[in-house]
Amino acid sequence: MNLFYIDTVDSTNKYAKEHMQELADMTVVYTYNQTAGRGRLDRKWNFAGEDNIYASIILKPADKMHEQFSNLTQYLCLVLAEVMEEYGVIPKIKWPNDILINSKKISGILAEGVTSGDSLMGIVLGFGVNLNAKKEILDKIDKPATSLNIEVGYFIDKKIFLTKVLNKFCLRYDEFINKGFRLIREDFIKKACFLNNEVTVKVFDKNICGLATNITSNGALEVTDKENKKHTILMGDIL
């Protein structure tokens, strides 16, 4: 992978999208100072200090969109969780692609596609990981959040962490592009923290409540509601 460092930027995702043409496949744009980080569903991603990760991977797997490309967030999510495990913590995946430790969010992923007509110019896979965030800063976030240094009790070297993530990402990337989510389904399910639990999933402007029963071979969440109706949810947010 090619690493591309920017001192200060509003959002590495926004930068990657705006410079998609000049940036080669498998380039990673990263910064120590992200001033207007964005999250899924129009949320913000707070800046938690320069010793955390704010990065976007640029991918150009094909010139047309394929179904499995939308599961790349889940592939990256599993990679991040596996790297965190190397530090002795037990990360859990909250479908579709958040990572929690002790029920507190430590990492989030935002994927965005850039298209021109019906051609796919590229995919931006942005991820933020709290590696060395101070507790006072995390306490100001509206949802429970944690950081790897807090969980393990020592400072985390972000270059080492990022290198581990990018190496692991490359290992099975080509296979993932061919096989899609079914390549990682079992490993993903082992880390999923909501299966067999009652959940409320926000899908656009409606909420679906019921028992989360399964994650399908294409990464969708299956929820059975009180009327025994099965919902297969491809996009949403567990509340």
- The site for ligand BTN (CB under 6 A) is made up of 11-13, 37-40, 43, 45, 54-56, 98, 108-110, 126-128
Q: How far apart are CA 92 and CA 84, in angstroms?
A: 10
Instruction: Write the DSSP string, 95-158.
Output: TTTEEEETTEEEEEEEEEEEEETTEEEEEEEEEEE-SS--HHHHHTSSS-B--HHHHHSS---H
Tell me whether residue 113 or residue 182 sits nearer to ligand BTN (CB atom): 113
For residue 129, the minimal CB distance to ligand BTN (Å) is 8
For residue 53, the minimal CB distance to ligand BTN (Å) is 8
Q: Which residue is nearest to ligand BTN (CB)?
A: 108
For residue 85, the minimal CB distance to ligand BTN (Å) is 20
Q: What is the CA radius of gyration of the chain?
A: 17
Helices (H) and strands (E) in the chain, counts: 7, 14
Cβ of 224: how many Cβ atoms within 10 Å? 14
For residue 202, the minimal CB distance to ligand BTN (Å) is 13
Cβ of 151: how many Cβ atoms within 10 Å? 19
Tell me whether residue 59 or residue 210 sits nearer to ligand BTN (CB atom): 59
Tell me whether residue 108 or residue 122 sits nearer to ligand BTN (CB atom): 108
Tell me whether residue 56 or residue 68 sits nearer to ligand BTN (CB atom): 56
Q: How far apart are CA 39 and CA 149, in angstroms?
A: 22
Tell me whether residue 110 or residue 223 sits nearer to ligand BTN (CB atom): 110
For residue 230, the minimal CB distance to ligand BTN (Å) is 27
Q: How far apart are CA 169 and CA 45, in angstroms?
A: 22
Q: Which two tokens stand for residue 105?
A: 């969010």
Tell me whether residue 224 or residue 237 sits nearer to ligand BTN (CB atom): 237
For residue 170, the minimal CB distance to ligand BTN (Å) is 19
